[in-house]
Chains A and B, each alone.
Chain A
Amino acid sequence: MMLEVRDLTAGYGHLRVLRGLSLDVPEGGVVALLGGNGAGKTTTMHVLAGLLAASGGHIRFRGESIRGLTSNRIFARGMTLVAQSRQLFPEMTVRENLEMGALVARTRREIAKLTDEVFDLFPRLLERVDNRAASLSGGEQQMLATGRALMSRPSLLLLDEPTTGLAPIIVHELGRILRRLNEGGLTILVVEQNVQMALKLADTVYVMRNGAVVMHAPASEVQDSAEMFRSYLS
């Protein structure tokens, strides 16, 4: 198992958001985390990436506990978060944003190689290479945020609502690229509001409510019992 989360609790001050969350992400798998607003999905991602401290429970990444580690140490172990609303460096160009993600690379040649790999995956970014990140469309910004995360060669990619505000054709394109990345061996944990996209992409689906998992099942089974599934999400 690449990631094991057990009885995770976390919050902001006195506000408890996560109340005993448990989930598993197998190596090479795609797991989707679904739930309504305020269910605790983004908080889960922040705790996993080390941006927010957990108050209880266990997080094991490749068999080792990572609870309490700082975000840069978690990142160095191969877990990279693409945060909600993309969080780019808006005044930097596409290339500069990508270079910011290349902390594993120490030489210009390594950076150039990683950048070329991202451009292979997202040719649209190559066309906009000298454009400011703030001038990109929503879809291009998501491609850039994902590309920047890939510059660190992660083994587990955490995606927080990657399709929010994107046109259906871009969602489809992004889904295709994420599948391609997964086929290449990348493990993905994705938080998604777009249920259709999540079911198409994921092997396993977890549904959250009030900071805990209320249901989990293989995506294929969920598609067969869509009615019951929607009742969990409502």
Chain B
Amino acid sequence: MERLPWLRRLFPFVLILALLAASQVMDNYLQYIVNLVLIYVIIGIGLNFLLGFAGQFAFAHAALMGIGAYTAALLTTRVGLSFWLALPLSGVVAAVIGAGAALPAMRMRRVYLALVTLAFAQLIIWVLINWNAVTLGTDGVDLRAPYLFGWRMRGDRNTFYIVLPVTVFLYWLARRVLESHVGRAFIAIRENEIVARSNGISVAWTKTLVFALSAFYAGIGGGLYALALGFIVPDSFGLGQLTLHFSIVVLGGMLSLYGAVIGAVVLTTLPEFLRDVQALQEIIYGLVLMVVILVMPQGIVGPLKRFGILPREVLARNWRRLERRG
């Protein structure tokens, strides 16, 4: 594809058209899986900002997704707000709380930051479980299908018509951010904070921004997740969810938006392929992860880029260290 730039430009449009066409013939369950894949693309991009591009080892992504899911569900079901307002608000609320998670990142790194953000995530889950008056605790909250021009967007196919444009828009936005001076600042603080500072980058502001942006994506993903499932409980956003998020980014490929897409496709559909071997499902899932990490440390995008199937990406296009590793 590297040698055919016109095909590269055309590919996203072809993919969107193909998804739209396929939605006409898919059964509900398959449509539900496609919706989940798209939601996890958003989640994966959000975590990639933080973990891949800015190098911040934070573990609150699943809890922030939960914040988004609960914001959307509670605002629509209990406050009576329109879903079309509740969805962006789910991103905003998660972003504000996510920016708070940036505070420990000002003084901590790596394993220390991981532990503090993990504790922060557990605190969020604890609040979701125990603040019964608002969150309804372990009883969970439902989210009813929204109306659009008087038409109720009920069912997986209608959910798809909401999820697809949001995913496309957030993917486009991510590209714009990464191509801008903001994206360069993310990478600079990951590479060397002192050099970043002497190049005029405010490390504190950049960290706050990347935490907030990542949480915004988690929040929107959470809001759409609540819509796709129709019912959420706090347990949905615990360690299992967090492991899935990290697996998507690592397996797909860090420092790559394509990585988030590939990781989401593989890890959301893999359990479906393993449905017939229920007993071995988790073992096979784990083995696939281990093999990919060992053979393709750059993630699946590594070899795809090396063989020219995927184009190189902004600021990571000559990432020789990663290419060497791959």
Please give the residue numbers on chain A whose beta carbons come within 8 Å of chain B beta carbons, in ascending order: 49-51, 70-72, 75-76, 80-81, 83, 87-89, 91-93, 96, 99-103, 105-106, 108, 130, 132, 148-149, 152
Contact = CB atoms under 8 A, between A and B. Distances in A.
Given A96-B315, A100-B188, A87 B195 contact: yes
Given A100-B184, A102-B181, A105-B181, A93 B201 contact: no
Contacts of A76: 200
Contact of A91 (B181, B194, B321): B321
Contacts of A92: 187, 191, 315, 318-319
Given A88-B195, A103-B181, 4 more contacts: A50-B197, A76-B200, A83-B198, A101-B199
Given A91-B320, A91-B321, A96-B315, A103 B195 contact: no
A182 B197 CA distance: 25
Which of the listed residues B184, B188, B199, B201 has the most CB atoms from chain A within 10 Å of its own CB? B199
Taking chain A's interface residues, is the majority helix, strand, or loop, or is none over half, making it mixed?
A: loop
Contacts of A87: 192, 194-195, 198
Contacts of A72: 197, 200-202, 205
A106 B318 contact: no
Interface of B: 179-181, 184-185, 187-188, 191-192, 194-195, 197-202, 205, 315, 318-321
Nearest to A86: B195
B197 A71 contact: yes
A83 B194 contact: yes
26 contacts: A49-B198, A51-B197, A71-B198, A71-B202, A72-B200, A72-B202, A75-B200, A80-B199, A83-B198, A89-B188, A89-B192, A89-B195, A91-B319, A91-B321, A92-B318, A92-B319, A96-B315, A96-B318, A100-B187, A101-B199, A102-B184, A103-B181, A103-B200, A106-B180, A108-B179, A132-B320
